[in-house]
Amino acid sequence: MARAPEAAAAPRRTPWWAHLYVQVLAAIVLGAVIGHFWPATGEALKPLGDAFIKLVKMIIAPVIFLTVTTGIAGMRDIGKVGTVAAKAFAYFLAVSSFALVVGLVVANVVRPGAGMNVDPATLDVSAVEDYAAKSHEMTITGFLLDIIPQTVAGAFVSGNILQVLFFAIPFGVALAMVGDRGEPLLRVLNATAEAFFKLVAIFMRAAPIGALGAFAFTIGKYGIDSIVSLAALVGTFYATSLLFVLVVLGLIARLNGFSVLKLIRYLKEELLLVLGTSSSEAALPSLLEKMEKAGAPKTVVGLVVPTGYSFNLDGTNIYMTLAALFIAQAVGIDLSLGEQLLLLAVAMLSSKGAAGVTGAGFITLAATLSVVPSVPVAGMALILGVDRFMSECRALTNFIGNAVATLVVSRWEGQLDRAALDRALDAGPRPIAARPVEADAD
């Protein structure tokens, strides 16, 4: 008797412990335990975190170049590039400026530094001298000139995101203008992009190790106890950032037809990685990939995400005005409305001048305070011990803000694939894989 054909095997479900976000979360918890109970061991694990971040940074420049160049070269209407850029910068300016205002308002209402009565003369100025020196080196003119690389290769060697963009955008336009003769090169670049995104997926498997090392170092060096003395500031900053994400970004998302909570769930692997490493750059390649899978066109993703990493820093902006007023309150300085508005104006400019600078939040705060003489720069020594813990919140808020911006600009362009967006947000996180090579649709 012939055997009945076997039923098709059901797709094998991935065990819960094999998901990357579960492994990263477990690594963060283990790192916190090691750092708390064995601080010396925790500090010694720092190279693990540093190695992983260097691993990711190694591929950021080529990933951005390939994403932007192939996206623009595959467009039929080159004029849309300028339109996308204009809409993106309008969004960045409006939302990041509002974040500064939110930080200022919350600091005046909650007053986390009131009653500390710190004498500025007793503060250790040497602890913040390096940050103050770096802040004086930053100017808007210098920042703009630095966007232009010395050589084409120099943009990739330095790893400066804006320099890579400065070369990638006109190169993509030039390749599109070549027409059919540029098709062979475009196919090569698309194939290379596919290989690089597969490389991203390979590197991401090391994310738990990087998160373990980075978080163990943070807890081991700075200690959870350091938060207690400045709990009012840290708690206020985290609460304000959460409020900004859920209310401000949540409203923006809702007006554009998607849920910020679903977006957070979709990006939870990347968010846990940012939390563990305290670096939003560690998840940049994955964000580029996931935004395309969520229905944003390649051109918008390639322009908005990298520029957002420099110009759309919502978390950093909340921190700047909140921390500045905290220092003023802690040393007993009552800033007038005019001085607070000056602080706000300076922060708007200095936040752009520090774009792409490592440790930008603290350095930008130093640059802002140096222009507002009412608040002593030495007061930054008060928050130096907990800045590392707040940098994680800054990075998380910045990351979510750029994801929202990408989908919003895509929707404004009329190019957001609603079906793909719904599939992605309803299904939650999926493993990162090499993307198919295909041209953008208009």
Quote the DSSP letter at residue 203. Answer: H
Q: Is residue 376 part of a domain?
A: yes
Residue 243 corresponds to which tokens in the numbers above? 């409020």
Q: Is residue 346 part of a domain?
A: yes
User: Low-confidence residues of the chain, pLDDT below 70?
Assistant: 1-12, 14, 16, 76, 120-143, 226, 229, 350-361, 428-442
DSSP sequence for 347-361: HHHHHHHTTT-TTHH
Distance, CA of 185 to CA of 438 (rounded, Å): 14
With CA atoms as reference, report the closest residue to 214 among 55, 367, 53.
Answer: 53
CA distances from 344 to 96, 253, 321, 366 (A): 12, 26, 7, 14
**How many domains does one find in the chain?**
1
Q: Largest Cα–Cα distance of the chain, in whole Å?
A: 96
What confidence tens digit (pLDDT) does each residue in 57-81 have?
888 889 889 888 988 887 767 777 8
Q: Which residues contact 357 (CB under 8 A, 6 or more apart)?
A: 134, 138, 363, 364
The sign of the dihedral angle between the CA atoms of 432, 267, 355, 230 is negative
Distance, CA of 274 to CA of 399 (rounded, Å): 8
The domain containing residue 85 runs over which residues? 19-427
Q: Is residue 105 part of a domain?
A: yes
CA distances from 354 to 135, 217, 310 (A): 8, 26, 8
DSSP sequence for 313-371: -HHHHHHHHHHHHHHHHHTT----HHHHHHHHHHHHHHHHHTTT-TTHHHHHHHHHHHH
* Domain CATH code at residue 126: 1.10.3860.10
Q: Is residue 8 part of a domain?
A: no
Q: Is residue 436 part of a domain?
A: no
Task: List b or e across 343-371, with b for residues whose CB sees 16 or more CB atoms inside 10 angstroms.
Answer: bbebbbebbbbbbbbeebbbbbbbbbbee
Enter the pTM of the model.
Answer: 0.82
Distance, CA of 202 to CA of 204 (rounded, Å): 5
- Judged by DSSP in three states, 216 sits in helix
- Given a contact cutoff of 8 angstroms between Cβ atoms, the answer to whether 394 and 387 are in contact is no
Q: Is residue 432 part of a domain?
A: no
Q: Which residues contact 51 (CB under 8 A, 6 or more apart)?
A: 210, 213
Q: Is residue 123 part of a domain?
A: yes
The pair phi, psi for residue 196, each rounded to 5°, is: -65, -35
pLDDT of the residue at 342: 84
Q: Is residue 82 part of a domain?
A: yes
Distance, CA of 388 to CA of 214 (rounded, Å): 11
